[in-house]
Amino acid sequence: MDRTQKEQMISELHSKMSAATIAIIAEYKGLDVATATDIRKTCRDNQVEYKVVKNTLAKRAAQGTSVEKIAESFKGPVVLILGQDPVTPAKVMTDFAKGKEDKFQLKVAVVEGQAIDAKGIENLAKMPGLHELRGMIAGMLNAPASKLARLIGTPGSQLARAVDARREQLEKAS
């Protein structure tokens, strides 16, 4: 790779690091091609960027971004995971790492400017994602309206049941 290609890669990586709300550094050793392809596909499906980069280029690209706080972790065979939603990349990587601790380990991450360790990544993965939170909020907003509709409808349905019961009572008496 010549100098201009390296500069272009650094520039591109720097802009991606600046835009990301989460950056995870994970160590991989001995992943087979099928497994690597599978995790790349899973990342693409979840709008998560999975990049194997040269450590020196990654350190240079991290300068001036929040990823600079964890740049010293660019040692050995590592992969950089970037995402816009802080929870989704953590969930994807934590699920992937389960059972593969000897081949894939989460090292550190930076989430909205705060550096966290592997345990913090696992805790972040347990939180609800952006889509789940939106669904919960929609449910909370919808609950009072549906409860109000039930309350408004209750007297009418009770009256209808009382009238129906009286009608049946009069029919039996006849």
Encode pLDDT of 82-139 as tens digits. Answer: 998 888 899 999 988 887 777 888 899 999 888 999 898 888 888 887 778 788 888 7
Annotated domain spans of the chain = 3-127, 129-174
Give yes or no for residue 144 having a pLDDT over 80: no
Residue 100 burial (C-beta neighbours within 10 Å; 0-12, 13-18, 19+): middle
Lateral strand order in the sheet of 22-28: 48-52, 78-83, 22-28, 104-111, 114-117
**Tens-place pLDDT, residues 41-88:** 989 998 899 999 898 999 999 898 888 889 898 898 899 999 988 888
Q: For residue 12, what pLDDT is reported?
A: 92
Q: For residue 171, what pLDDT is reported?
A: 87
Q: Is pLDDT larger for residue 168 or for residue 131?
A: 168
Q: For residue 159, what pLDDT is reported?
A: 75
Q: For residue 24, what pLDDT is reported?
A: 93
Q: For residue 53, what pLDDT is reported?
A: 87
Q: Are 85 and 129 in contact (CB under 8 A)?
A: yes
Helix (H, G, I), strand (E, B) or coil at 102: coil
**Long-range pairs for 141-145 at CB < 8 Å and ≥24 separation?**
none
Q: Which CATH architecture has domain 3-127?
A: 2-Layer Sandwich (3.30)
Longest dimension (CA), the chain: 102
pTM, two decimal places? 0.72
Give yes or no for residue 168 having a pLDDT over 80: yes
Could you report how far apart the first and last alpha carbons of the chain are, in Å?
100
